[in-house]
C-alpha cells in the first residue's frame, strides 16, 4: 500500500533512520580483514536492540540474520556467517531497523583494506547514482525520473544496472508501494507522480559487468551472473514540498 506520512510520522522514521545510520557507522569501524560477517551481524543486532529497535530482516520471510552482508560478486541478501573478510574485499551492509512502528533502511558498500582501483570506482559511482536519483526525488517528478537518472549515470560508466531487485516505499512496512526501480530502459516521465509525505528506499545496485544476476541455492544470496563485483548504496528518503530529507543520514553528514 502507498502511504503518505505526516510530519510526526516522518520524525519517527528519522529516529529509526538514526539507528540504522549508527549501525552502519559501527559496521564501517569493525569491517577489517579477519572479521567474519557473522560477527558484524551480531554487533549490528546488539546495537539495534540496545536502542529499543528491532532488526527488521530477522525472520522476514524466514531470513535467518539481522542484516545482509553481500561480499564482492554478491549483489544483495548475502547471509552473514563464517566468511572472514580479507584484504581487497568489498562488503555491502544492508541494515533495516524498526523503531516505534516505523522502519529505516540503508546500505553502504564498505572497502576492506586495499581494494582494486576499478572496484573502488564502482563503489563510488554507485553512491553517485543515488544522489543523481535524489535530484528527482521531488514533487513534480515521477518515480521513473529517479530510476532513469540512476540508470544513465551507471551506464555512462559502462556498468550493469540490476533490474530484478528494486527500491521500494517504506514506512510501517519494510516494503510498501511504490516500486522504485533503478532501470527504466532510459524512459523518464513514467510511473506515479511523487507526492509530499511519500517515504522511499532508493537503492541503486550496480554491477561492474552484466546486469544479470542469479540467486544461490540458499534461496537468498543474489550474485552477479558473470562473477564480477557489485556495489549497493541505499538511503530512506522523505519527499517534501521542497528538498527531500534523507532519513538515514543526519543533516550535513555525507557518511
Q: Does 177 bind ligand MF3 (CB under 6 A)?
A: no
Rounded Cα distance between 101 and 52, Å, is: 11
In whole angstroms, the minimum distance from the beta carbon of 4 to Co ion comes to: 19
- 141 or 233: CB nearest Co ion: 233
| Residue with nearest beta carbon to Co ion | 201
Q: Does 176 bind Co ion (CB under 5 A)?
A: no
Rounded Cα distance between 172 and 104, Å, is: 10
Rounded Cα distance between 95 and 21, Å, is: 9
Write down the residue that cell numbers 522511499 correspond to. Answer: 200
Point out which residues pair with 206 in neighbouring strands: 161, 231
Half-sphere exposure of 255 (CA within 13 A, CB side): 14
Interface pick for ligand MF3 out of 24, 68, 137, 150 (rule CB under 6 A)? 68
Q: Which stretch binds ligand MF3 (CB under 6 A): 10-18, 55-63, 81-89, 133-141?
A: 55-63
Rounded Cα distance between 227 and 210, Å, is: 9
In whole angstroms, the minimum distance from the beta carbon of 175 to Co ion comes to: 8
Q: Does 77 bind ligand MF3 (CB under 6 A)?
A: yes
Q: Which stretch binds ligand MF3 (CB under 6 A): 60-68, 127-135, 188-196, 204-212?
A: 60-68
169 CB-near residues (< 8 Å, 6+ apart): 2, 3, 175, 176, 177, 178, 180, 198, 199, 200, 201
Interface pick for ligand MF3 out of 96, 97, 194, 247 (rule CB under 6 A)? 96
Note if the bond before 178 is cis, omega within 30 degrees. yes
- 121 or 173: CB nearest ligand MF3: 173
Interface pick for ligand MF3 out of 29, 60, 189, 195 (rule CB under 6 A)? 60
For the segment 190-249, give every residue that binds Co ion (CB under 5 A). 201
In whole angstroms, the minimum distance from the beta carbon of 180 to ligand MF3 comes to: 10
Return left, alpha or beta for 153; rule: phi > 0 is left, psi -120 to 50 is alpha, else beta. Answer: alpha
Rounded Cα distance between 78 and 252, Å, is: 30
Out of Co ion, ligand MF3, none, what residue 108 binds, judged by CB under 5 to 8 A for its kind, is none
- 73 or 94: CB nearest ligand MF3: 94
- 169 or 244: CB nearest ligand MF3: 169
Q: Which spans of this chain sit near Co ion (rule: CB under 5 A)?
A: 105, 201
Amino acid at each position: 500500500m502507498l502511504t503518505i506520512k505526516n510530519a510526526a510520522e516522518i520524525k519517527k522514521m528519522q529516529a529509526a533512520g538514526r539507528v540504522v545510520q549508527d549501525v552502519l557507522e559501527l559496521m564501517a569501524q569493525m569491517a577489517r580483514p579477519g572479521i567474519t560477517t557473522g560477527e558484524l551481524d551480531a554487533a549490528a543486532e546488539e546495537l539495534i536492540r540496545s536502542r529499543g529497535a528491532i532488526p527488521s530482516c530477522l525472520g522476514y520471510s524466514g531470513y535467518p540474520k539481522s542484516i545482509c552482508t553481500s561480499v564482492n560478486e554478491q549483489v544483495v541478501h548475502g547471509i552473514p556467517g563464517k566468511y572472514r573478510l580479507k584484504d581487497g574485499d568489498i562488503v555491502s551492509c544492508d541494515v533495516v531497523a524498526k523503531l516505534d512502528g516505523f522502519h529505516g533502511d540503508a546500505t553502504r558498500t564498505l572497502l576492506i583494506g586495499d581494494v582494486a582501483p576499478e572496484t573502488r570506482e564502482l563503489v563510488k559511482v554507485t553512491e553517485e547514482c543515488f544522489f543523481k536519483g535524489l535530484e528527482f526525488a521531488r514533487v513534480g517528478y515521477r518515480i521513473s525520473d529517479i530510476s532513469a537518472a540512476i540508470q544513465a549515470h551507471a551506464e555512462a560508466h559502462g556498468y550493469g544496472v540490476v533490474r530484478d531487485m528494486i527500491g521500494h516505499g517504506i514506512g510501517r512496512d519494510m516494503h510498501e508501494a511504490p516500486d522504485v526501480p533503478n532501470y527504466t530502459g532510459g524512459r523518464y516521465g513514467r510511473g506515479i507522480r511523487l507526492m509530499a509525505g511519500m517515504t522511499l528506499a532508493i537503492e541503486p545496485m550496480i554491477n561492474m559487468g552484466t546486469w544479470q544476476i542469479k540467486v544461490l541455492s540458499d534461496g537468498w544470496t543474489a550474485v552477479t551472473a558473470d562473477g564480477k563485483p557489485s556495489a549497493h548504496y541505499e538511503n530512506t528518503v522523505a519527499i517534501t514540498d521542497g528538498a527531500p530529507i534523507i532519513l538515514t543520514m543526519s543533516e550535513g553528514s555525507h557518511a
